[in-house]
Amino acid sequence: MNWTTEEIRYLEEHQGEGAMAIAEALGRTVISVQVQACRYGISLVPRWRCPKCGAVTRKPLSSITGWCANCTKEARRDRIAEEVREMEEEVRRAERENRERQALYSKKHRMKKKLESMKSE
């Protein structure tokens, strides 16, 4: 059975989904899809479009993020940067706290000395 123009267009538009999916959608055999693809110079190598950046990739999208490898890496980098920011803030607070405690200790020490010297006068 000859392929209709609509079927060829469908093949072009969905080529990245692979022969099996196209065959199922059109009610054709996988062989038939492959033959038509070959005839029209259409590559059936699976491809995916990243929903985040819109890029087409030959690597499957990440099962965790649903994005391409680059978007997934960017997201991971952002997360690490956020963790670093949180740790920096924690260290800053701890350092400030130590400084203020040290300052109070030495003040306390000075006051104690002063009181002692007053008593002995």
Is residue 52 part of the contact set for Zn ion (CB under 5 A)?
yes
Candidates 7-15, 29-37, 53-61, 87-95 — which segment interacts with Zn ion by CB under 5 A? 53-61
Q: Does 71 bind Zn ion (CB under 5 A)?
A: yes
Q: Whole-number minimum distance, CB 68 to Zn ion, in Å? A: 3
For Zn ion, give the closer residue by CB, 3 or 67: 67
Residue 15 DSSP code: G
- Whole-angstrom distance, CA of residue 118 vs CA of residue 116: 5
**Which of 22, 26, 44, 50 is close enough to bind Zn ion by CB under 5 A?**
50
Q: What number of chain residues touch Zn ion (CB under 5 A)?
A: 6
Bridge partner list, 49:
56
Distance in angstroms (rounded) separating the CA atoms of residues 37 and 55: 23
Is 61 an interacting residue with respect to Zn ion (CB under 5 A)?
Answer: no
Q: Can you tell me whether residue 45 is helix, strand or coil?
A: coil
- Kindly indicate which of the ranges 29-37, 61-69, 86-94, 95-103 contains the residues binding Zn ion, using the contact rule CB under 5 A: 61-69
Contacts of 12 (CB under 8 A, 6+ apart): 40, 42
**Which residue from 53, 81, 87, 111 is in contact with Zn ion, where contact means CB under 5 A?**
53
- Residue 36: CA count within 13 A, CB half-sphere: 24
